[in-house]
Amino acid sequence: MRVRVLLFARYRELAGGVGERWMELAPGARVADLLAALRATSPRLPPAPAVARNGALVDAGAALADGDEIALLPPVAGG
Amino acid sequence: MTIDVRVGPEPLPLTPPPVPAADGAVVAFWGVVRGEEPRGSIAALEYEAYAPMAEVELRAIAAEAAARWPLGWVRIHHRVGRLAAGEASVWIAVAAPRRAQAFAACRYVLEQLKRRAPIWKREIAADGAARWRGGRRLRARRDG
């Protein structure tokens, strides 16, 4: 399955400046598998960032589905 | 009850819109890019948002405020992009029957926005040095 991965702010910079990518994952993959795959190519990313699946925060055990939008969210600083 | 939320590059309102007849108080807050920090002078802040998620979260915050206080409307606008020192980055305005309700609701919305909206800022110092501002980790919330 393919998921769309968004990296914001500092996380984008830690991953070479690429804020959006599609990633191919095995069927049944979970958020933790996605994070491991990302860190294999971008080892400066933190091991347990806040993650949103289709706009809602999830934990690392959450299952993924084809076409999901997964966002890695650094600590926020709005206002 | 009207909820008006925007996350985008547009400039912020300078005056509040009309208030319902039952309301006698409007409190509006503008957050402004501070040009002097303990570390030195700041030229600008560059704001970035996960806008669709931020708007959903801000609507939820507005609805919470409206459940706690009898508000005529809640308006939350947050800018993104580069804002020079002295420019406003966020505008929160609430209308309520009484001033105590309006002050409390405006403050609630602001404090929750800072904790929960997926928005980031990068500081550009007067000497050109850039750094991401530290912030708070997002945490999942249960309903209620």
* Domain assignment present for A78: no
Domain that holds residue A41: 2-73
3-class DSSP state of B18? coil
Burial of A38-63, coded b for 16+ CB within 10 Å and e otherwise, reads: beeeeeebeeebbbbbeeebbeeebe
3-class DSSP state of A39? helix
CATH 3.90.1170.40 fits B2-9+23-32+42-128, yes or no: yes
Q: What is the ipTM of this complex?
A: 0.96
Determine contact, residues B121/B134, Cβ cutoff 8 Å. Answer: no
Mean pLDDT per 10-residue interval, chain A, length 79 residues:
98 97 97 98 97 97 98 97
The enclosing domain of A9 has a CATH number of: 3.10.20.30
From chain A, pick out residues whose CB is under 8 angstroms from the CB of B133: 77
**pTM metric for this prediction:** 0.96
From chain A, pick out residues whose CB is under 8 angstroms from the CB of B47: 78
CB contact under 8 A, A79 and B50: no
Residue A78: CB atoms within 10 A of its CB come to 27
Q: Which of A13, A55, A78 sits opposite B78 (nearest CB)?
A: A78
Interface A-B: count of C-beta contacts within 8 A: 81
